[in-house]
Amino acid sequence: MSGQALCVMADALPDNTGGQGRRLAIYAAARMSGFPMSTHSLHRTQLKQPFIRMPDGVLPCSISHVAGIVVAAAATPGFSVGVDVEQVSRFETMTESLVGAILSPAEQALRKVWTPESLLVVWSLKEAFLKAEGTGFQDRPNKYELAHLTPDCLHDLGDGRFWLHKRFLIKQGTWITLGVLGTSHDAVAECAFGYQVIQSSEIP
């Protein structure tokens, strides 16, 4: 059975993006479950991975924010979800040491020149993937080789899991990466991705 992953973004947040992220994750989960937001609550695993508890079970979720922008994603049960939002300006002062810190030697060999945009793509992918795994960066980013995972393509990870992700350009220089992990080939392949923008004042 196919599932869904919904990403919601709010811009121009005045402050407290952490609290806004929690509310936005609950909002996304409520949109998917059909239950009122008041019946949802956000919790975290021992590894700090967030999830939403609702009346008839739990939904996986993920939160990210940068420079006053907050995004949150929720997915149907049976998946793990990861989301990341990044601005290319964060990578415009690249140095060789920064490239080496983010990319493994094998990843560096994939391109002759790494631009700020191409580096953002890999960094954001790693953030989203490792959030979906529930681990986050437990080691240096260059220890993880994920640059070969292309968007809009189903990837068999070889361990009984499958990965699918999409990228959204939300405004000039700002990208969202949204991905799901699951153990069912067909369910991940058929996962429907949704994206919604709301005003910060609309966050309950």
Distance CA 204, CA 200 (A): 9
Note the pLDDT tens digit of each residue in 28-51: 999 989 899 999 999 998 888 999
Distance between the two ends of the chain, CA-based, in angstroms?
Answer: 32
Note the pLDDT tens digit of each residue in 120-175: 999 999 999 999 998 877 778 888 899 999 999 999 999 999 999 999 988 888 99
What region does 17 belong to: left with phi over 0, alpha with psi -120 to 50, or beta?
A: alpha
- pLDDT given for residue 201 in this prediction: 72
Is residue 5 within 8 Å of residue 166, measured between CB atoms?
A: no
- pLDDT given for residue 1 in this prediction: 46
Is residue 122 within 8 Å of residue 107, measured between CB atoms?
A: yes
How many structural domains are present in the chain? 1
Q: Which domain holds residue 128?
A: 4-202
Distance CA 63, CA 72 (A): 4
Q: pTM to 2 decimals?
A: 0.91
CB contact set of 4 (below 8 Å; sequence gap of 6+): 32, 75, 76, 191, 192, 193, 194
Question: Is residue 64 scored above 90 in pLDDT?
Answer: yes
Tokens 């260059």 belong to 142
